[in-house]
């Protein structure tokens, strides 16, 4: 049994019971660098959590840190609402040159607030404003944020219950449902949209994750995404891709939808867009959708200039060429092979492996097993979290900048945690 660190008592005494990650990692963290976090007792932990996808470039990345320190030391603007600043201008120019133009994406850029859920709220509000309709379709096991609009398009029953009020104007559909008997994947959905007696109001938009991170590392097939995009076009619905957790290179390409060849109408980004763990979110959309009135959607922390600085540094360092994308895909293959090797020898527990790039998960038939694996991994010095509707999936999210030795070390620790949490076979007799 893990005993809480004495220095954590102030958190138990003063901090709300809503805290969660600290319960699984009972230590007080003090420093972090690269792929490691360090406790006050100087113990090192290899980080396969990466701030839930916020730290794609690792902790205190030296290139980003230098840019931030230089900006602070010269008294660069920190807070400016949505005023024009030099830091914002440089970010926008760099984002256009390194991300949008090479991919021939014409998007306008909106700064909706500091968090991913702000980006989703803005996307939903804009879609409803453009189409003049209220309904939005989402998918089973989706997670889009904790504010009320985002919760309405989230599938997790526990998260939804926390709203305390009905969550309306949203309709769930099965995520990447395999076609039966050769029928198109969206035949049923299409029939609902066409039927006057279906009870489904014409939706303004569909919101989807190409890989469901919190939903259990469920990966949508490229052909399914293409079929969805075609259905949205044909039925006059906007397609919103939530790339908050899987964007910024997590699956290889900068945007996770690039592999499928689709071009969403609206895209939401946050988490690693600042590169340094600083609050920052973007809502991207086609220019013809930009029908906002000035100030119609606002917020105090729409433009956090230190985040613009580190985001620009990250784009310059990692997205001027294709090196990071190739490295991520190569290390993703290495991670997949290692996980499949761990799963192969355990038919009794029926673990399933799935993911893309450097976002992978291993599902266990017994949900408690995933929690036990994460707990043992922490004892061994590896940070992992669970995901899925029953926390049945162990989620592996190492930094994209992790080196080969660190990746191998983390995978070895994971394999050991899986082995050491196995229950003895009931059929095995005494030896």
Q: What is the 3 state secondary structure string of 389-409?
A: CCCCEEEECCCCCCCHHHHHH
- Run of H or E residues at 68: helix 62-73
pLDDT the model gives residue 303: 85
Residue-wise pLDDT tens digits, 359-389: 999 999 999 999 999 999 999 999 999 999 9
Q: Which residues, given as ranges, of the chain have pLDDT below 70?
A: 1-8, 178-184, 197, 347-349, 424-431
pLDDT at 348: 63
Long-range contacts, stretch 232-236, CB < 8 angstroms, 24+ apart = 232/205, 232/206, 232/265, 235/190, 235/193, 235/202, 236/131, 236/202
Instruction: Report residue 230 CA to chain centroid gap.
Output: 25
Eight-state DSSP code of residue 162: T
Q: CB within 8 A of 35, min separation 6: which ones? A: 46, 47, 58, 59, 398, 399, 401, 402, 403, 406, 410
Task: Find, among 356, 399, 8, the residue nearest to 176 by Cα.
Answer: 356
* H or E stretch covering 65: helix 62-73
φ, ψ for residue 228, nearest 5 deg:
-65, -45
Residues 186-196: tens digit of each pLDDT: 888 888 888 77
pLDDT of residue 112: 97
pTM of the predicted protein model: 0.94
Residue 346: φ, ψ to 5°: -130, 60
């Amino acid at each position: 049994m893990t005993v809480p660190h004495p220095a954590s008592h102030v958190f138990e005494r003063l901090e709300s019971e809503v805290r969660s990650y600290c319960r699984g990692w009972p230590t007080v963290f003090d420093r972090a660098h690269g792929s490691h976090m360090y406790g006050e007792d100087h113990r090192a932990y290899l980080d396969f959590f990466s701030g839930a996808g916020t730290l794609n470039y690792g902790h205190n990345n030296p290139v980003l840190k230098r840019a931030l320190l230089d900006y602070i030391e010269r008294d660069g603007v920190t807070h400016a609402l949505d005023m024009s600043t030099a830091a914002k201008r440089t970010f926008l120019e760099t984002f256009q040159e390194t991300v949008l133009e090479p991919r021939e994406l014409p998007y306008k850029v909106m700064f909706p607030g500091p968090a991913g859920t702000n980006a989703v709220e803005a996307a939903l509000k804009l879609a409803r404003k453009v189409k003049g309709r209220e309904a939005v379709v989402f998918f089973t096991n989706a997670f889009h944020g904790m504010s009320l609009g985002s919760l309405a398009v989230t599938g997790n029953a526990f998260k939804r219950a926390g709203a305390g009020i009905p969550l309306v104007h949203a309709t769930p559909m099965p995520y990447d449902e395999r076609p039966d008997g050769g029928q198109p994947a969206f035949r049923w959905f299409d029939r609902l949209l066409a039927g006057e007696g279906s009870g489904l109001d014409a939706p303004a938009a569909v919101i989807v994750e190409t890989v469901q991170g919190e939903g259990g590392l469920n990966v949508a097939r490229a052909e399914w995404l293409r079929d969805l995009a075609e259905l949205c076009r044909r039925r006059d619905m906007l397609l919103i891709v939530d790339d908050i957790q899987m964007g910024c290179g997590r699956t290889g390409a900068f945007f996770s939808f690039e592999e499928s060849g689709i071009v969403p109408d609206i895209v939401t980004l946050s988490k690693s867009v600042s590169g340094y763990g600083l609050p920052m979110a973007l809502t991207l959309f086609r220019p013809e959708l930009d029908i906002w009135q000035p100030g119609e959607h606002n917020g105090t922390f729409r433009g956090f200039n230190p985040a613009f600085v580190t985001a620009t540094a990250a784009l310059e360092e990692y997205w001027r060429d294709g090196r990071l994308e190739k490295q991520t895909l190569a290390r993703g293959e290495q991670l997949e092979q290692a996980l499949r090797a761990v799963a192969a020898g355990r038919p009794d527990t029926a673990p399933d492996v799935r993911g893309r790039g450097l976002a992978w998960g291993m599902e266990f038939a017994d949900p408690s097993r995933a929690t036990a694996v994460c707990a043992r991994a922490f004892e061994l010095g590896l940070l992992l979290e669970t995901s899925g509707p029953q926390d049945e999936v162990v989620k592996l999210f190492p930094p994209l900048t992790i080196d080969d030795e660190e990746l191998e070390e983390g995978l070895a620790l994971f394999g050991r945690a899986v082995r050491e949490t196995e229950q003895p076979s009931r059929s095995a007799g005494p030896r």
